[in-house]
A = this chain, B = another copy of it.
Amino acid sequence: MEIEIATIGGYEEVGRQMTAVRAGEDVVIFDMGLNLSKVLIHDNVETERMHSLDLIDMGAIPDDRVMSEIEGDVKAIVPTHGHLDHIGAISKLAHRYDAPIMATPFTIELVKQQIQGEEKFGVENDLVKMDAGASTRIGDDGVELEFVNVTHSIIDAINPVLHTPEGAIVYGLDKRMDHDPVLGDPIDMDRFREIGEEGVLCYIEDCTNAQKKGRTPSESVARRHLKDVMYSMADYDGGIVATTFSSHIARVKSLVEFADDIGRQPVLLGRSMEKYSGTAERLDFVEFPEDLGMYGHRKSVDRTFKRIMSEGKENFLPIVTGHQGEPRAMLTRMGRGDTPYELEEGDKVIFSARVIPEPTNEGQRYQSETLLKMQGARIYDEVHVSGHLNREGHYEMLNALEADHLIPAHQNMEGFAPYVELAESEGYELGEDLHVTRNGNVITLVE
């Protein structure tokens, strides 16, 4: 059976991930993501109303025109998890393919919401849920699609595996090797090892942290760290505010629980806080206290802040958006004094997140912290662990899968470099079975 891999997007950057695998007549597309920074660099862009070609020109969404070179029928579009760089272009590109979108339940729900926000295109692909651990047949030639459970900074993440007569193709974006992930099941290393023994033709891997030594700590380490931080504030009788990635439900859950432990009522504030946690709760991925408030609209947020101020800041833990210092996010607005919540000398602000290391973010985050400190806030930073594998996680995956071919992904050339050197130290040879590729290439594995 002929096997080809089209590396469409995310092979020259982080963002706008998209990869297509052809096995004989059948094609499966993995991810259709957005590169948000290419949108934000412009002053006033509303992507909702833009045409896909303009977004392609901006480098914001994958340039899928290479798909015309791929023979065969697209049978499924498979986003691995619900982050924007993996689902954010579905509303702009999916309607071009006569194929269902298949994903885990939480991811499907986020895809649905994204499609609803689209104003330019009508996206009518079927949305098909499949659980982690499950499999389905693709086409009529013995190809099967399996979802292997992985752990990432969002729940219900999987690595799709396409089983073909030529061996498995493991699409490895994005994951951490977490054996104690706070929410959901541990990464299914047993299954990866089994697949490795069955024979892996190709492993496509997210190289994001390959330059970092050691292994990425488990979410349970971040939880232990967060507990340490929050318990140390148990005696404080003023305001405490926390921020984290809205989609990081496990972290939100820890924040909610420790808030309770130290005698404070947690409340989620900000549009995306409401969206992700509300969705996760509705789908039973997480159990929050029944009375946990979640408010996204400006008015209800302000009303809540007023209630907090009148009932006493010392009784609440607002969990808000703004971990990167985004100019319009809730925490930045709080720093500017633009909300009814009044920060005072000694109040604590917990960033349960890391600044994504890029000068724009660093500048905005610095401004946000400066504003907060001007009001007397005390800053607690980097209570966080990454969602991506460090070098030793990659080393373990390479040993578990023993793939015939490797394709580094999810980075620019500089990001590929340490992964390439790791792979070489494990015996892979560049240009032989180790494929450094770029957006728009097609790699033929079996002719």
Contacts and interface: CB of A to CB of B under 8 A. Distances in A.
A275 B129 CA distance: 61
Interface string A361-374: 11111110011001
Contact of A381 (B214, B224, B231, B378): B214
Interface in A361-418: 361-367, 370-371, 374, 378-383, 392, 395-396, 399, 412-414, 416-418
Interface stretch (A103-111, A315-323, A433-441): A433-441
A213 interface: yes
Q: How large is the interface on A (under 10, 10 to 19, 20 to 34, 35 or more residues)?
A: 35 or more
Contacts of A117: none
A198 interface: no
Given A228-B180, A362-B362, A417-B416, A370 B437 contact: no
Interface in A36-58: 41, 43
Given A213-B381, A392-B380, A412-B417, A225 B232 contact: no
Nearest to A380: B214
Contacts of A336: 43
Contacts of A383: 214
Given A41-B367, A362-B362, A217 B225 contact: yes
Contact of A41 (B371, B378, B441): B371
Contacts of A381: 213-214
Nearest to A223: B224
B41 A232 contact: no
A177 interface: yes
B214 A218 contact: no
B438 A430 contact: yes
Given A214-B229, A380-B214, A441 B436 contact: no
B367 A364 contact: no
- The 6 lowest CB-CB distance pairs between A and B, nearest first, are A363-B363, A359-B366, A413-B417, A414-B417, A214-B380, A224-B224
23 contacts: A12-B424, A43-B336, A179-B231, A215-B229, A215-B232, A215-B380, A217-B225, A221-B224, A221-B228, A224-B224, A346-B399, A359-B362, A360-B363, A360-B366, A362-B362, A413-B418, A413-B421, A414-B414, A414-B417, A424-B438, A429-B438, A430-B437, A431-B441
